[in-house]
Every structure is written in structure tokens, then in C-alpha cells.
Amino acid sequence: MVAGRQETRVQDNDLYAEIREIRKIELEFEKSQIKEDIEKQVNDFDEEIHEMQKEKYRLESDLKNAELKLILLFEELIILNSLDDRDAELTLKLQRSKQEKSHIIR
């Protein structure tokens, strides 16, 4: 009977060792899959960051162009405002000239 128990123990130990080996292989496979998933997510994230940086540079460029246009339009407004007085003078002069012309024609 003792020999039978030893064979059973040996078979049990071999069975447990085989189960442990199978579990180890499964866990290593899971680990490699998780690592691949993480690397893919990190790469996707880095790519999105890169795209966002490019978009940020485009938007900053558009903003600078808009600021330059605003400055140019403001300078034009200042010039036009400075010419208002002269324009009013010339308009009065034109009206007087028209009145003089109408007097001459009569």
C-alpha cells in the first residue's frame, strides 16, 4: 500500500506542477497582452498630444494674424478720424462753391 500512495503523491505533484506551468504560461500571455495594450494606448495618447500641439500652433498663428489685422484696422481708424476735420472743411467749401455757382448762373 505504501508504494501506491507514493505513486499517487508523485502523480499529484506532477499534475500540480503541470497545472502551475500552464497557469504560468497563461499569466505570461496575459502580461504580454496587457503590455501591448498599454503601449498602444501610450502611443495613441502621444499621437493625440502631437496633433493637439500642431492645432495649437495653427490657432496661435491665426490669433497673431487677427491681432495684426486689428492693429492695422485701428491705425486706419485713427487716420480716418484725423481726416474728419479736413473732410468737414472740404464739404463746407464744396457747398459754398455750389451756392456761388448757382448765384453766378442766376
Residue 4 has pLDDT above 80, yes or no: no
Element (H, E) at 105: helix 2-105
Quote the pLDDT of residue 6: 62
Instruction: Report the percentage of the chain scoring pLDDT > 90.
Output: 76
| Cell output for 26 | 497563461
Task: Give the residue, 13 or 100, on which the prediction is more confident.
Answer: 100
Q: What are phi and psi of 37, to 5 degrees?
A: -60, -45
Nearest-angstrom CA–CA distance, 76 and 80: 6
User: Hey, what's the torsion of the CAs at 98, 100, 102, 105, to 10 degrees?
Assistant: -130
Mean pLDDT of 69-94: 94
Quote the pLDDT of residue 2: 46
Mean pLDDT is lowest, of 23-32, 68-77, 89-98, for 89-98
